[in-house]
Amino acid sequence: MREPFLKRGPFLKRRPFAILAAGAVSAAVFAASGLAIVAGQAEAQDVVVEPAGPWACEPPDFDAGPAPMLGPVELRLVAGMLLAAQETVLGIRPDQAEAWRDYAGALVAMVPSGDRVERWLAPEGRAKAEAFDLVQDVADAAIERADKAKRLKQSVDVLKATLTPEQMALVAKTQARLVERVARLIEWQRGESFGAPL
């Protein structure tokens, strides 16, 4: 009585390449059959079949409309939550709380309020605009941002003098991770290879 094919050890030992070749041929035939079916359906429906690109495994694009954007209030809330988490991780003590609050407030104030943009988004606001109002708004916004940046810089100087060396080291470590993620995001947007997912 002959042994089943899979139990024939000598065949498997002597012919691994034959098995691989048979698998490759089967895969090729299966792929060719699938392409033929797709091509036949496309021809019947007058659909142009385009070659698969590098992202062929991803689902096809679809128009889902614009993604929801965070407004100034939501952005400030997100910044506040992140700062609260960082305060907990750093272990801010009561004697450091005032310096931390000044820093956190100055940082959140850097988030654009959107007040100046709203004027130009509303039709009645645009109708009331006079000559050079847009340029003046841009200049005023830059001046206000510069003042807020100075306040932030001053609060950072005070905070650095308040934190312990261990807290400063933890801030530096967190900063390094943040910079790395931002750099990877920029490389991804430029189409460069960053070696690992975010």
Task: Please write the tens of the pLDDT for every residue from 72-128.
Answer: 788 888 889 999 999 999 999 999 999 999 999 999 999 888 777 888 888 888 888
Residue 9 phi, psi dihedral angles, 5° rounding:
-60, -45
Cα–Cα distance, 185 to 189 (Å, whole number) = 6
- Scanning the chain, the segments in alpha helix (DSSP H) are 9-14, 16-44, 72-90, 97-109, 115-121, 123-128, 133-162, 165-190
What is the distance between the alpha carbons of residues 81 and 155, in angstroms, rounded to a whole number? 19
Residue 149 identity (one-letter amino acid): A
In a domain, 118, yes or no: yes
> What is the tens place of the pLDDT at every residue in 29-65?
434 444 343 344 444 445 454 555 555 555 555 455 5
Q: State whether 78 and 155 are in the same domain.
A: yes
Are 105 and 150 contained in the same domain? yes
- How many distinct structural domains can be found in the chain? 2
- The answer to whether residues 40 and 95 belong to one domain is no
- Residue 157 and residue 72: Cα distance in Å, rounded? 27
Asked if the structure places residue 150 within a domain, the reply is yes
Radius of gyration for the alpha carbons in the chain, expressed in angstroms and rounded? 31
Q: Domain of 112?
A: 72-163
| 35 plus 108 within the same structural domain | no
